[in-house]
C-alpha cells in the first residue's frame, strides 16, 4: 500500500494509450490511493467515463460547467484536494497547451489553477514517434520541466499506427513505480550508490559449481530504494532471475572474481557501497575444463580450494574507503549468534555499518528482519517487507553519512 492516503487526480487526454489508463487507475486504487478521474472530450473518444468511474469508484469529471460543484468551480475544488495531478496519457497537443498556459477545458484549467508549491504536476507522454521527436514537442518538454513539471520517460516499441519507435506511454506498472518513487523522500539526491546482490557461482567444471541460497531480493530492494531516494544507482548482480529496478543500471556477473573486478572499476565513481551479495568465501583451485565423471568407486573427486578476495574489505580499506569518501555498508547472513558474528565482522572488515540477518530465515523470502551494528552498538529493525526495510536502511545510511563515525 505504497500510496495509502494519497489522493491522485488522474487526467486523461486524447490518445489510444487511454486503454492503459484503465489498468493504471486500478493499480493506483490497489496501492491505497483515492483516484479522481478527469477526462478531456478527446479522451472520451477512446475510453468511456463509465469505465473509469467503475475503476475509480468515483464520478468522472469531464466539463468545466459540471453542475455537481456547489460553486461551479470544479477546477479549483479538484486541484485543491489533490496530492498530485497525473496526466496519463498526456498528448502532444495537451503538452503544448500546458506550455502556453492555455486553459479552455476542465483538465487544463485545473492544471493552471493548482497551487504550484503543494500540488505537483506529473506527465506521462504518449504519441507517435514522429510527434515525439518533433522539435516543437522537445521544446515544449524542456519548458515544462523548467516550469517544475515532472515528465516521465516514454517507452519504445510498436505503436498503434503500425510504426515502431519512441513515444509510447509507459506501461501501467512502470508508471506506478515511478509515481511511488516520486513520493519517496530524496535522502540520497545527487549521490552515486553501488550495490551488490545475489549469490556468486564458483565453477567446479563446466556444469557444476559452488553457490548459495541467496535470492538477491534484499539487494535489489536496496537498489530500488536508493534510486527512489534520488541516487544514481548501479547494481552488480550475481546469477539471479529478478527484474532490474526502474532507473537502476545493472551489471551481471557470475563469480566472486567477476564481482570484485566490476566493483573495483566502479568504486572510484561511487559515494556509497552497499555489499549485500552473498559472495563465496572460497573457490576451487582449478576448474576442470570438462565435466568430471563419476568413478567406479563412487567416491567424490578430491577438490582443493583457494580463498576469494574479500570485496567489502578491499573497498572499505582502500584510500577512499578509509577516508569516508566511499561509505561502505556490509551485510552478514548468519545462522546463529547474529549480534556477536555481525559485530566481529564489522570490526574485521573495518566498515562503519554492518547489517545482519539470519540467512535461513530470509533466503528467497519477500520479508526480513535486520540488525544494524555500528561502533556505538546495535539497533533491531523488526520483520517487514524487504522493500520497506530497504527504505529504512537507506534513510539510516543517509543520516549516518552526515555524522562522523
Closest CA to 151 of 121, 192, 106: 121
Across 298-323, b (16+ Cβ under 10 Å) vs e yields eeeeeeeeeebebbbbebbebebbee
Q: How many residues does the chain have?
A: 405
- Return d(Cα 388, Cα 129) in angstroms, integer: 38
Closest CA to 197 of 243, 228, 265, 246: 243
Cell digits for 229? 531516494
Element containing residue 339 per DSSP (H, E): helix 338-349
Give the Cβ contact number of residue 290 at 10 Å: 8
Packing angle, helices 92-100 and 135-146, rounded to 10? 50
Contact assessment for residue 36 and residue 56, using Cβ atoms and an 8 Å cutoff: yes
Cell digits for 13? 487526454
Packing angle, helices 217-228 and 172-183, rounded to 10? 60
Phi–psi pair at 369, nearest 5 degrees: -135, 140
Q: Is 161 a catalytic residue?
A: yes
Contact assessment for residue 372 and residue 343, using Cβ atoms and an 8 Å cutoff: no
Positive/negative CA dihedral, 172, 175, 177, 183 = negative
Cell digits for 173? 506498472
Which of the following is catalytic: 18, 25, 149, 161? 161
Cell digits for 258? 567477476
CA distances from 171 to 27, 210, 249 (A): 11, 38, 19
Q: Which residues are CB-neighbours of 4 under 8 A, at least 6 positions away?
A: 31, 32, 33
Phi–psi pair at 178, nearest 5 degrees: -65, -40
Q: Which residues are CB-neighbours of 157 under 8 A, at least 6 positions away?
A: 164, 168
- Return d(Cα 256, Cα 236) in angstroms, integer: 11
| Residues annotated as catalytic (active site), given as ranges | 161
Amino acid at each position: 500500500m505504497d500510496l495509502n492516503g494519497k489522493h491522485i487526480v488522474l487526467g486523461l487526454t486524447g490518445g489510444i494509450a487511454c486503454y492503459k489508463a484503465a489498468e493504471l487507475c486500478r493499480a493506483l486504487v490497489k496501492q491505497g490511493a483515492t483516484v479522481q478521474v478527469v477526462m478531456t472530450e478527446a479522451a472520451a473518444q477512446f475510453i468511456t467515463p463509465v469505465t473509469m468511474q467503475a475503476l475509480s469508484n468515483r464520478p468522472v469529471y469531464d466539463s468545466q460547467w459540471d453542475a455537481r460543484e456547489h460553486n461551479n468551480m470544479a477546477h479549483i475544488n479538484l486541484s485543491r484536494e489533490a496530492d498530485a495531478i497525473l496526466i496519463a496519457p498526456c498528448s502532444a497537443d495537451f503538452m503544448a497547451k500546458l506550455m502556453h498556459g492555455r486553459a479552455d477545458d476542465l483538465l487544463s484549467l485545473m492544471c493552471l489553477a493548482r497551487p504550484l508549491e503543494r500540488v505537483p504536476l506529473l506527465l506521462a507522454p504518449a504519441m507517435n514517434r514522429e510527434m515525439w521527436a518533433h522539435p516543437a514537442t522537445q521544446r515544449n518538454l524542456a519548458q515544462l520541466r523548467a516550469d517544475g513539471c515532472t515528465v516521465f520517460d516514454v517507452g519504445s516499441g510498436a505503436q498503434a499506427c503500425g510504426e515502431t519507435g519512441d513515444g509510447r506511454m509507459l506501461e501501467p506498472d512502470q508508471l506506478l513505480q515511478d509515481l511511488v518513487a516520486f513520493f519517496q523522500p530524496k535522502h540520497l539526491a545527487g549521490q552515486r550508490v553501488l550495490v551488490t546482490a545475489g549469490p556468486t557461482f564458483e565453477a567446479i567444471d563446466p556444469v557444476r559449481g559452488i553457490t548459495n541460497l541467496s535470492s538477491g531480493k534484499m539487494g535489489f530492494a536496496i537498489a530500488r530504494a536508493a534510486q527512489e531516494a534520488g541516487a544514481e544507482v548501479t547494481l552488480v548482480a550475481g546469477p539471479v532471475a529478478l527484474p532490474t529496478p526502474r532507473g537502476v543500471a545493472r551489471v551481471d556477473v557470475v563469480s566472486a572474481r567477476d564481482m570484485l573486478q566490476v566493483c573495483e572499476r566502479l568504486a572510484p565513481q561511487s559515494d556509497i557501497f552497499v555489499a549485500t551479495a552473498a559472495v563465496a568465501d572460497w573457490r576451487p583451485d582449478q576448474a576442470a575444463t570438462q565435466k568430471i565423471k563419476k568413478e567406479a568407486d563412487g567416491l567424490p573427486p578430491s577438490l582443493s580450494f583457494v580463498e576469494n578476495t574479500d570485496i567489502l574489505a578491499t573497498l572499505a580499506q582502500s584510500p577512499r574507503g578509509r577516508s569516508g569518501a566511499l561509505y561502505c555498508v556490509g551485510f552478514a547472513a548468519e545462522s546463529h549468534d547474529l549480534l556477536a558474528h555481525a559485530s566481529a565482522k564489522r570490526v574485521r572488515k573495518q566498515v562503519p555499518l554492518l547489517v545482519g540477518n539470519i540467512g535461513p530465515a530470509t533466503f528467497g523470502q519477500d520479508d526480513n528482519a535486520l540488525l544494524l551494528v555500528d561502533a556505538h552498538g546495535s539497533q533491531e529493525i523488526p520483520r517487514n517487507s524487504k522493500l520497506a526495510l530497504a527504505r529504512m536502511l537507506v534513510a539510516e545510511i543517509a543520516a549516518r553519512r552526515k555524522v562522523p563515525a
